[in-house]
Structure formats: C-alpha cells, structure tokens
Amino acid sequence: MSKPIVAVPADTCFFRETTWHAAQQQYVGAALDVAGAMSFIIPALGAAQDIDAMLDRVDGVMITGSRSNVAPALYGKTEEERDGPFDPGRDATTLPMIRRAIERGMPLLCICRGIQELNVALGGTLVSEVHELEGRIDHRQPPEGDRDALFVIRQPVRVKEGTCLADILGPGEVKVNSLHRQAIGDVAPGLAVEAIAPDGTVEAVSVISAKNFAVGVQWHPEYWAKTDETSRRLFAAFGDAVRAYARPKDRVGAATQ
C-alpha cells in the first residue's frame, strides 16, 4: 500500500516581491515522518477551487497553524486592527474544506489556527488577546529564543475523561507548547471540549458527530512529533485514521490494475 495523502491548505505569503502559497516544513515533515502520510499542499484560492474534487484525491485533512488570524466577520465580530494579520484566501479555503471533510467522514487534524478555523467553520466564535482577559494566562509564544525555544513544551493542559483525546493520550494532565494570541470563545455546536488549560482556555476539541478522527488542538504537536510522546501519539493516531480511510480506495486501485 502506498502512503496515504493528506490535504494541507496553504498560507498566502508574500516574499521575493510576489505571492506564494506555502506550508511549513514542521507540519508536512511530521505528517510524513510520524503520521506516515504524504501532503498535498492546497493553494489558498478559496471558492475558485472544487473542494470535493480535491478531497476525492486525498485520505485526510490537516489544518496547520499560522500567525494570521481568522477574519472576525466570519464569526460575527466587527473587525479591529488588533484582530489581524489576516489571510482571507486561507479562510475561504479552510472553512469549506473543514465542513466538507466532516460531512464526508474524512480524518481531520486541526492545529492552533486550525482549531480556531474548525470552531468558526461550525458556528463558534473566537476571542483575541487572551492574555488581556480577566483570569487568563499568557498563551503567546515566549518573547525570545530560537524556534526550538518558541515551541518549548511548557504548559499543562488537562485532558478530560472519556474523550477521543483521552483514548489517545490518557486522561489527566499533559504538557504542551503554546503560541497563540487568540482562542475559542463560544464553542461551536457539534464540538466537544476535550482539554482545557489551567485558566479554562479551550485547548482541544473533537467533532461530536464525526464518523472519523476529527480533532483540533490549540498547541503544536507537529513541532516535537518525533521526540515528545504526547505529540507523537496524536500524529500516530491521525496516521492510523488516514490509513484506515485510504484502505478501501487502495483495494479499488489494486482491483483495477
């Protein structure tokens, strides 16, 4: 059986005087090395693309983190300067892809911005500048250091009993990294909260009606997926789901050879 393939929606980036559609090495590398899945990076071109035609050709969807934020208008909020930076092309691609992947029963892993997109896609809201909210801790990346320092494993989160995540990680406390200014506000109907930070910030959710693995995490399991057991287990579970989803299609392929 060839390695399964996951769709990875790109960020819109601008460098060398032009626009690129890109995904970071840490995500596609963890998908290949730990989940055992190849990545098709999907341009952030929104409705101009046939989402179903793309999903027909993959075995799962991984929504990555990004420094950009979901447009506030998508969750009924008036836009403020502090809500940016934005990536409307990514929003226009990820939100319909998330909804369609769930409807089709495809494995779905949403990371950091990805959990925020999952929540908005299903009707929830976000809060900005979490660290300024009463009783909340600072979830932003550490103020300095190299990339390893920014993604250091440092924050406790509690995985709730009886959840999808508890089946993968075990219930109780795990340590994660944290690099986000926004967080889930109103949890979307159809999402179950699976893990929370000590200040009550939602750190993981799952799709209640999902016919497959459909999990969002606010932290970054991709970064230490090879060496951190909590991170590794999450990516391994995603890979198992993607391979199981691919198997029937692989048999069809073999049958027609």
Instruction: For ligand LF53FM6H, give the closer residue by CB, 57 or 175.
Output: 175
Instruction: For ligand LF53FM6H, give the closer residue by CB, 5 or 150.
Output: 150
The least CB distance from residue 55 to ligand LF53FM6H, in Å, is: 23
For residue 88, the surrounding DSSP H or E stretch is: helix 88-103
Q: Which stretch binds ligand LF53FM6H (CB under 6 A): 28-36, 64-72, 195-203, 244-252?
A: 64-72
Cβ of 40: how many Cβ atoms within 10 Å? 15
Instruction: For ligand LF53FM6H, give the closer residue by CB, 113 or 232.
Output: 113
The least CB distance from residue 80 to ligand LF53FM6H, in Å, is: 14
* Size of the residue set binding ligand LF53FM6H (CB under 6 A): 11
Instruction: For ligand LF53FM6H, give the closer residue by CB, 181 or 233.
Output: 181
CA of 24: how far to CAs of 30, 97, 130, 147, 211, in Å?
10, 19, 25, 13, 28
Site string for ligand LF53FM6H, 105-134 (x = CB under 6 A): -------xx---------------------
Q: Report which of 121, 148, 159, 158 is spatially closest to residue 228, judged by C-alpha positions.
A: 148
Determine contact, residues 250/1, Cβ cutoff 8 Å: yes
Instruction: Find the binding residues for ligand LF53FM6H in span 154-193 (CB under 6 A).
Output: 179-182
Q: Which stretch binds ligand LF53FM6H (CB under 6 A): 45-53, 67-75, 101-109, 165-173?
A: 67-75
Q: What is the DSSP string of 182-223?
A: -EESSPPTTEEEEEE-TT--EEEEEETT-SS-EEEESS-TTT
Polymer length in residues for the chain: 257
Query: Which of 12, 66, 94, 231 is in the footprint of ligand LF53FM6H by CB under 6 A?
Result: 66
Q: Which residues are catalytic?
A: 112, 220, 222
Amino acid type, 169: L
Instruction: For ligand LF53FM6H, give the closer residue by CB, 180 or 233.
Output: 180
Site string for ligand LF53FM6H, 68-87 (x = CB under 6 A): xx------------------
Determine contact, residues 217/224, Cβ cutoff 8 Å: no
Q: What SS3 state is found at 73?
A: helix
The least CB distance from residue 178 to ligand LF53FM6H, in Å, is: 9
Q: What is the DSSP string of 95-162?
A: HHHHHHHHHTT--EEEETHHHHHHHHHTT--EES-GGGSTT----SPPSSS-HHHHT---EEEEEPTT
Residues found near ligand LF53FM6H in the complex (CB under 6 A):
65-69, 112-113, 179-182
